[in-house]
Chains A and B, each alone.
Chain A
Amino acid sequence: MSLAAVVLVVVATVSIGTFGLRLSRTTSDFYVASRTVSPLWNASAIGGEYLSAASFLGIAGLILAYGADMLWLPVGWTGGYLVLLVLVSAPLRRSGAYTLPDFAEARLESMRVRRAASVLVVLIGWFYLMPQFQSAGLVLRTLTGAPVWAGGLLVAVVVVVNVLSGGMRSITFVQAFQYWLKLTALAVPVIFLLLAWRGDGMPGITDQQWLVPLAGTREHPVYATYSVILATFLGTMGLPHVLVRFYTNPDGRAARRTTLVVLGLLGAFYLLPALYGALGRIYAPDLLVSGHGDAVVLTLPERVVGGALGDLLGALVTGGAFAAFLSTSSGLTVSVAGVIAQDILHGGVRSFRVATVLAVAMPLMLATMARALPVADVVGLAFAVAASTFCPLLVLGIWWRRLTDAGALAGLLVSGGLACTAVMWTIVSGPLRGWPGVLLAQPAAWTVPIAFGVMVVVSLLTPGRVPAGVARTMVRLHAPETLDVDRGDWHPRGGA
């Protein structure tokens, strides 16, 4: 039954994707859906793309394991959009950039900063894709007993086929569909779970350590909490697949309104994982012993509701999980491939195709090599890298005229290097004990201040390198579109 749901989601995704095929022809269609997407579609698409395996499966798993402290993850993943809304949404849309490297080039007029940004986009994308493939492997293994790499490979192939056949246009529709599918797939079963729980006489949770914040079993919970908050609130704006979505808004004002809708959609979704985590604590504490916390969402319906209905609900959540793998992976793949195609290959539709395969192959390999960490933890690391590189680049670039190319480059290299090292260490060789372990597993609290500090100090030391066109760029970023002013003649590369 669950396997049938997986097949259904895959077929639906591919067919909706191919349906959009005839609509996408030119290069700019391929990348950004020709900017003809309406705000609600766009917000649903942002939500659909954003809610990954980490949100769908991972949060509930971590809450099951560690309790109240983990509630900060979904809070931060939503709150990140609030910070994004107030600090970057409208100016970013007005910049006209498709990708983060585009923004870096437009603002700082430097190819070197552009290239550094490209490398970081690819790295963040890979760190984010890897856990998606790993979770797909785990889910398919629990369903069929297939080897762990099989699920990742399945997701990778579907994503490549889908991206290559439809490009961004179809992806927008696929993503919007995926949001509502994911919401339904968590919301419907939870109703039956709560009914069954009431039928049981509403058993409570007595474990105080689990219920109360900062009392859990993780080391240095106060530092870890603040570091997670920093990484998630500031990292969202720096994720490669988020910016492309903003380009599909017609103007800066629409970008703001879309973000507002996104906040509502995400808030609605994130009410659910905590319920799964808490119910899991009551009904499936054994998952912790076996180390399969990430499977709690998939396990509960069968275990608590049971019977044919339990099977059906189980199939629904499994389908939703695959929707999560496919949607996030597609969005990331489009973004990473776009950057590889434009900045490493020579651009155009053919390069985009080659780049798509490259974008997926590397994290697929990583997924088979790396240790199995909780999916939400690994995604959190991608946020930490984004927060310590693109967040300062965007915030300073938009609001501070005196940012120079040298300052931006130094900040990206120093803090991006530190954050990536911490992430690789955690993924490959595993957490250390004590302070070093916590600092490496939650690097944002020290790498974000370093990033801002380096960018500001180096910029102040190189005042002669302030870009010549900064005044015009500021007009472009901040003047509302209703005004007829000269916004400069910069255009993103690869655009029509």
Chain B
Amino acid sequence: MNDDDTPPAVEPTAPPGERSESSDAEGPRAYPHPEEPSKRDEPPSGARQSNRVLVTSPRTRAATRPRHPGTREIDEQTGLGEVYMRSLIRSQLRLALSVCVAVTGVIGGLPALFLLAPGLGDLRLLGVPLPWLLLAVLIYPLFVVCAWWYVRQAERVEQDFAELVDHR
């Protein structure tokens, strides 16, 4: 989308590397025609000068092609782009599931606890039976704390991902 205002050719690029190469190698798997006439597949440096066309052999082009930001890998659905997306989804899912497991433990455990130890129902704290104190009062702040923690972590995951992918 913003290929026009950030020509990849002049970008200071990230670590030299195997990345871009491997992605180019894997590219065709997900996207059979990397040269299809979409805007972002134009030769990087000649994007604006419509009449001039850079003619090179495919090998040379692959070798000299500047390493572009991960957003482009994602847009072109290259192997690397897929790896980026999968890692983001996996870390978000892991975070979500850890909250779910904790909630399941507490919420699923309480009825079992009341069933196995009926004596708990007779315990009183400040005159309030323990189950009532737990279910009618304490559980709500617990939810809020869980949610607050999750929101912080999820935003951090996203920020890390943005930095990884959008290195400019």
Assess the A212–B85 pair: CB atoms within 8 A.
Answer: no
A71 x B166 contact (CB < 8 A): no
A478 and B89 alpha carbons, distance in the complex (Å): 7
Cβ contact of A478, chosen from B88, B131, B146, cutoff 8 A: B88
For residue B71, which residues in chain A have a CB less than 8 angstroms away from its CB?
483-485
- By a CB distance below 8 angstroms, the chain B residues around A215 are 118, 121
CB distance from A207 to the nearest CB of B (A): 11
A278 to B129, CA, bound (A): 12
B38 (CB) vs chain A CBs: closest residue: A486
B41 within 8 A of A: no
Query: With contacts defined as CB atoms under 8 Å apart, how many contacts are there between chain A and chain B in the complex?
Result: 143
- CB contacts (< 8 Å) of A81 on chain B: these are 143, 147
Q: How many residues of B contact A (CB 8 A)?
A: 51
Scan B138-166; emit 1 where CB is below 8 A from any A CB, else 0: 01110110111011001100110110011
Asked whether, in the complex, the Cβ of A211 is within 8 Å of the Cβ of B132, the reply is yes
Query: Quick one: which of B89, B132, B162 contacts A480, CB cutoff 8 A?
Result: B162
**B147 touching A85, Cβ below 8 Å:** yes
For chain A residues 187-218, which have a beta carbon within 8 Å of chain B? 204, 208, 211-215
Interface presence of B95 (CB below 8 A):
yes
B residues near A483, Cβ cutoff 8 Å:
71, 161-162, 165-166
Q: Is the interface of B mostly helix, strand, loop or mixed?
A: helix
Scoring A residues 465 to 495 as 1 if CB is less than 8 Å from chain B, else 0, what string do you get?
A: 0000001101100111011111000000000
- Asked if A259 is an interface residue, CB under 8 A from chain B, the answer is yes
B121 contact set on A, CB distance < 8 A: 68, 208, 211-213, 215
Give CA–CA (A86, B149) in the complex, Å.
11
Contacts of A480 in B (CB 8 A): 158-159, 161-162
Determine which of B1, B122, B154 lies in contact with A256 in the assembled complex, contact meaning CB atoms within 8 Å. Answer: B154
- Distance of A95 from chain B, by nearest CB (Å): 14
Residue from A75, A214, A226, A471 within 8 A of B139 (CB atoms): A75
Contact (Cβ within 8 A) B115 A260: no
Interface size on A, residues (CB 8 A): 52
Asked if B151 and A257 make an inter-chain contact with CB atoms under 8 angstroms apart, the answer reads: yes
Q: How far is the CA of A425 from the CA of B22 in the complex (A)?
A: 60
Q: Does A72 contact B (CB under 8 A)?
A: yes
Q: How far is the CA of A87 from the CA of B154 in the complex (A)?
A: 11
Q: Which A residues are within 8 Å of any B CB, using their own CB?
A: 68, 71-72, 75, 78-79, 81-83, 85-87, 90, 204, 208, 211-215, 222, 225-226, 229, 233, 253, 256-257, 259-260, 263-264, 266-268, 270-271, 274, 278, 399, 471-472, 474-475, 478-480, 482-486
**B residues apposed to A, CB below 8 Å:** 1-2, 30, 71, 74-75, 77, 82, 85, 88-89, 92-93, 95-96, 99-100, 103, 107-108, 111, 114-115, 118, 121-122, 127, 129, 131-132, 135-137, 139-141, 143-144, 146-148, 150-151, 154-155, 158-159, 161-162, 165-166
Add 18 more A-B contacts to A86-B154, A478-B88 (CB < 8 A): A85-B147, A86-B95, A215-B118, A226-B111, A229-B111, A233-B103, A259-B147, A260-B144, A263-B144, A263-B147, A267-B140, A267-B144, A271-B140, A472-B77, A479-B85, A482-B162, A484-B1, A486-B75
